[in-house]
Amino acid sequence: MLVLQEHEFETLVHFVRENFGINLDQKRILVEGRLGLHLTEAGYSSYQEYLNRVFADPTGAEVSNLVTRLTTNHTFFMREENHFRFLRQVVLPALAASPRDKDIRIWSAGCSSGEEPFTIAMTLHDHFGFAKEQWDTRILATDISSRALDMARKARYPATAMDQVPPSWLIRYFRRTSETEYEVIEGLREEVIFRSLNLVQGVFPFRKRFHVIFCRNVMIYFDRKTRNELIRKLYQVTEPGGYLFIGHAEILDRDECGYKYVQPAIYRRPS
């Protein structure tokens, strides 16, 4: 196993913080654990050689792979089920009761391999039923990792990933492709628009605000300054009265963020 030298670690920490807002200062063991074996198997003689390859790649693919290896979270369908229960029982009825143009805008920020936005899509179909065709409820799903987005677009998941999916949803929204794999049905896949987006760089390129934003288990990697800046940007693209869902391990500064606390990991922008 290669040894991560101090200057190599500092170079990596600086690069990732400046470009992606991710703070790895106290994550040396994580870095070694997630990169060490890959570098050895790929034949690199040092971390510096690998970093030189990352910095010199004009396509950005190596950078994307680096960030993926350092930040990939375990995710699954129906994660933090109470969020989807609140979406179905509170948020969607309120939005449906006061339609402007039958347009409900939802953003899954940091969507990883797609389980979250597809769970949102299934929740929408379950709520609206046959009336779903009257509404524009397409979901924007973004992530910084091109590899995660490729997996999400394929929408194929191992049978073991179906454990938390309600049996009725498994029948309605999935197709079994083999003994070990399921695929999200085409109609549901068309409801989710996957795009690449770095949450901490630049201004969000959105023309309209969102009624609902899921940004869960993303900010755990950020330092306080980066986290507060992201919250400010999220607030700007949240509709008045709209909701922000975050991870249960994440906390907002209620005095500064602008959002109002609703219940654990759920906040609302005042109307």
Q: Which residues are catalytic?
A: 34, 143
Alpha carbons 264 and 237: distance in angstroms, whole number: 21
CB–CB of 199/144 below 8 Å?
A: yes
Single-letter code of the amino acid located at 36: G
CB–CB of 260/267 below 8 Å?
A: yes
Q: Give the CA angle between residues 144, 42, 220 to the nearest 5°.
A: 30
Neighbours of 1 (CB within 10 A): 8
Tell me whether strands 139-143 and 192-196 are parallel, antiparallel or unpaired: parallel
Neighbours of 189 (CB within 10 A): 18
